[in-house]
Amino acid sequence: MRRLFSGKRSAGGLTTVEVLVAVFIFNCVSAAIFGFIGNIDRIRGRAVFVAAASRLAADEAERLRSIAARNAQVEDSSYTETVSGRVFRVERDCIEDDTPPSFVPQAREPLKIELRISDENRREAAPLRFKLLLGRDDP
């Protein structure tokens, strides 16, 4: 009697198990690639946000320098600004000096300012915080 399954393969074909293993490996590799693409897109979006926020912080620092040059009072403020089609909210808080007054003349401490810049379109994202020091010339 002739054996139906002799264990020998024909030269030109693949078995079902080999095809299933190949499909499984292809799916695993594809899922990994799509996962990397998703992470790369998320990281690129964050990098664009950080670059725009850093530019806004640099602009605000220049604005504060011009205010200080005119010996004007720096106050808390909040405003929105559009950069490259994205709307950002900029909040400026002046941090009060908590050292007690002294009778001995001392150089005044620089004004501490905190900037919080957030993306209006993505409210769930944490805002970037910048700490600035603004020197004072007045006694």
CATH number at residue 119: 3.30.1300.30
Is 25 inside any structural domain? yes
Compute CA 34 distance to the chain's CA centroid, rounded to the nearest angstrom: 22
Q: Which pTM value belongs to this model?
A: 0.65
pLDDT score, position 123: 74
Strands of 77-83's sheet, edge to edge?
77-83, 86-95, 111-119, 128-134
Is 127 inside any structural domain? yes
Give the pLDDT means over successive 10-residue stretches in the chain (139 positions): 54 84 94 91 88 90 85 85 88 80 71 89 82 72
Is 5 inside any structural domain? no
Give the chain as a DSSP string: ---S--SPPPTT---HHHHHHHHHHHHHHHHHHHHHHHHHHHHHHHHHHHHHHHHHHHHHHHHHHHHHHTTPPP--EEEEEEETTEEEEEEEEEEPP-SPP-SS--PPPPEEEEEEEEESS-TTSPPEEEEEEE-----
Indicate the number of domains in the chain: 1
pLDDT score, position 1: 45
> What range does the domain containing 73 cover?
16-99+108-134
Is 85 in contact with 120 (CB distance < 8 Å)?
A: no
Is 116 inside any structural domain? yes
Is 34 inside any structural domain? yes
Is 6 inside any structural domain? no
Is 9 inside any structural domain? no
CA pair distance 49, 23, nearest whole angstrom: 39
Is 3 inside any structural domain? no
